[in-house]
């Protein structure tokens, strides 16, 4: 963490990369206990895809945080209910010039149902098909460390969705 509260992350995947798509197939007990699946790129992409397919077949909501960034196969997008990149990951997912709205629209056209871009101290941005995008400002705080802030927001948002909260309200609560 630097003097401005910004973090640098190093990922050492260890056991996470021992997971296999076959293990997903035999994890019925896990999938029967939930209605929301929150994934990141800290496990192999093939495992994420297998988990999303299984969860989607069971009617679960899928939240996908593309961190740390990896190129996603186009088959991922239609399975994702909420894509949750930060600004840097959004630029990787949709390279080139363009506003948050324009880049989010491209992801919606690829099949994602909703895009939530986390904006650090500025808050978050929510884009959905057929509705106007929404900006949710963050409260002003003195950051001591931002390590885990995005993970915390993702978990809080997922918890709200699993409890049946409307996405805007769940995201607003998570940003606060």
Active site residues: 151
β-pair partners for 118: 86, 124
65 and 91 Cβ atoms separated by less than 8 Å = no
Distance of CA 171 to the CA centre of its chain: 12
Three-state SS for 114? Answer: strand
With residue 2 as reference, give the H or E element that holds it: none
β-pair partners for 117: 125
143 and 5 Cβ atoms separated by less than 8 Å = yes
With residue 115 as reference, give the H or E element that holds it: strand 114-118
CA–CA dist 68, 172 (Å, integer) = 24
- Tokens 């699946």 label which residue? 37
- Dihedral over Cα of 159, 15, 115, 151: its sign: positive
């Amino acid at each position: 963490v630097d003097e401005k509260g910004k973090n640098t992350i190093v990922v050492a995947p260890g056991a996470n990369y021992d997971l296999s798509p076959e293990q997903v197939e035999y994890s019925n007990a896990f999938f029967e206990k939930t209605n929301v699946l929150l994934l990141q790129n800290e496990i192999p992409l093939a495992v994420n895809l297998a988990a999303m397919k299984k969860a989607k077949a069971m009617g679960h909501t899928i939240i996908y945080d593309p961190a740390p960034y990896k190129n996603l196969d186009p088959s991922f997008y239609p399975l994702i209910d909420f894509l949750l990149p930060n600004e840097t990951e959004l630029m990787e997912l949709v390279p080139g010039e363009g506003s948050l709205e324009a880049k989010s629209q491209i992801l919606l056209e690829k099949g994602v149902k909703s895009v939530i871009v986390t904006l650090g101290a500025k808050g978050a941005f929510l884009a959905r098909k057929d509705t106007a995008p929404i900006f949710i400002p963050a409260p002003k705080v003195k950051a001591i460390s931002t390590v885990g802030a995005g993970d915390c927001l993702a978990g809080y948002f997922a918890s709200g969705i699993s409890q049946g909260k409307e996405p805007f309200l769940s995201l607003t609560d998570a940003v606060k």
